[in-house]
Amino acid sequence: MEIRAARRSERDEVLDLLSLWYDDRAFFARYNQNDPKFRDDLCLIARDRGGALISTVQIFDRTINLDGKVVPMGGIGSVFTRKDYRHKGVASSLMRLAIDTLEREGFEVSLLFAERLTFYNQFGWREINRKFSMISDALQLGADAATEIDVLDLERDLAEIMSIHRAYSGRINVTAVRDESEWRGSLRFAGNQPMNPGEGSDEYFVLTRKAGAIAAYARAIRLYGITMVMEYGYREGAFGSLAALLRHLGEIAIGRRSSFRLIGDHRRASRLHDGSGPTTPTSAIATHLAHDPDLELQLAAAGASLVHHTDNNYMWRIIAPEKLGCRFSLEPEDASTRAFELFASEKSLYWTADRF
């Protein structure tokens, strides 16, 4: 068996293998094609003695906020082994190579999302509970009826959106740091599938303005029949603008006409109620709120009913404790402990929009 990093010439073979997973080659291809940090040497593969590609693991190059520091993070994803080669140690060999690669490439921490917790535990990843939030009836949110809701115009709006993201998400531990190229990539590969070939992901990106400036934004998809706000941001004092966006999304999700004046091309709104999920359309919205208790209080006061859902398929590993120690001015063991405290904190957040 051959275990190594992939070559550029093998990209199509890797995508063909991954297409056996979801029967959706394009889902994986959009990361390879649009992630500015994609590298073939971070895509690991296994071939059997006959030369057939049988397993793969990908490392996603990201950086995150930790205690005000920007820390290199290697995400583990696209872990797949052909069915006839499972339980034969192939994936384990790739995971050991992944750890060696993470160390060699200078990553300091690693994140993965998994259901097979015990499999990843043996390689040093530890599961941590995290909370999703459900706004059970977004239609009840009180919001200014005079609010106008626009859609993202990339060239016009990106600089302002990036500024809001830095100010809001940038103060929260574990959030991903994005430069302009990473933002543009994220807007192409986050979400689900494109409406038209080459158009990019089908997320519905909405925003509001006050005095001409963007006040709040939200990035929404439909996931398992529920509207999921993968990410949002709002300026200080602009709670009402965010509440309006959430109410608008709740209305759109059940096919109701929005209470607000719409500006721009809202064709993507139809993706929130097109019947693509297994459940009856609902105005409930899933998102992340626990990191922002002040926002939760304001939403409750505005009429929202909030419920938290906890899962533990969120797994972290320390790759370079010595480097973390230098960053935090701590001994390596203490730095590792501090990092896990931050990973596990309810006030930390890794946006669904950054998932790999």
- As a whole number, mean pLDDT of residues 128-157 equals 93
Compute the residue count for the chain: 356
d(CA 249, CA 236): 21
The two tokens of residue 138 are: 């977004």
**β-bridge partners, 223:** 226
pLDDT digits (tens, 9 = 90+) for 210-267: 989 999 999 999 888 889 999 999 999 999 999 999 999 999 999 999 999 999 999 9
What local confidence, expressed as pLDDT, does residue 196 receive? Answer: 52
User: Is residue 160 pLDDT above 70, yes or no?
Assistant: yes
pLDDT of residue 198: 47
Mean local confidence (pLDDT), 160-165: 98
Q: Check whether 39 has a pLDDT greater than 80.
A: yes
pLDDT of 66 over the 80 cut? yes
Task: Please say whether the beta carbons of 27 and 193 come within 8 A.
Answer: yes
Residue 145 has pLDDT above 90, yes or no: no
Query: What residues pair up with 93 in beta bridges, in sequence order?
Result: none
Token pair recorded at residue 164: 């809001």
Q: Under DSSP, is residue 53 helix (H, G, I), strand (E, B) or coil?
A: strand
27-38: pLDDT as tens digits:
899 889 999 999
From the number of C-beta atoms within 10 Å of its C-beta (0-12, 13-18, 19+), residue 306 rates as middle
What is the distance between the alpha carbons of residues 338 and 334, in angstroms, rounded to a whole number?
A: 6
Q: Which residues contact 343 (CB under 8 A, 6 or more apart)?
A: 128, 174, 316
pLDDT digits (tens, 9 = 90+) for 282-310: 889 999 999 999 999 999 999 999 999 99
CA distance 222 to 14: 28
Question: Residue 350, Cβ neighbours under 10 Å: how many?
Answer: 24
Residue found by looking up tokens 């990973």 in the block: 343
Asked if residues 320 and 107 have their Cβ atoms less than 8 Å apart, the reply is: yes
261 DSSP β-pair partners:
148
Residue 133: phi and psi, rounded to 5, are -120, 145
For residues 130 and 137, give the distance between their C-alpha atoms in angstroms, rounded to a whole number: 22
Tens-place pLDDT, residues 337-349 = 999 999 999 999 9
Q: Which of 192, 203, 158, 189 is nearest to 33 (CA)?
A: 189
Is residue 276 pLDDT above 90, yes or no?
no
Tokens coding 354: 């950054």
Q: What is the mean pLDDT of the chain?
A: 93
Can you read off the two tokens belonging to residue 16?
């063909």
- What pLDDT is stored for residue 192 in this prediction? 59
Is the pLDDT assigned to residue 164 strictly greater than 50? yes
Give the mean pLDDT of 132-157.
93
Entry pTM: 0.93
CA 58, chain centre distance (Å)? 16
Show the domains of the chain with their CATH numbers: 2-129+311-354 (3.40.630.30), 137-304 (3.40.630.30)
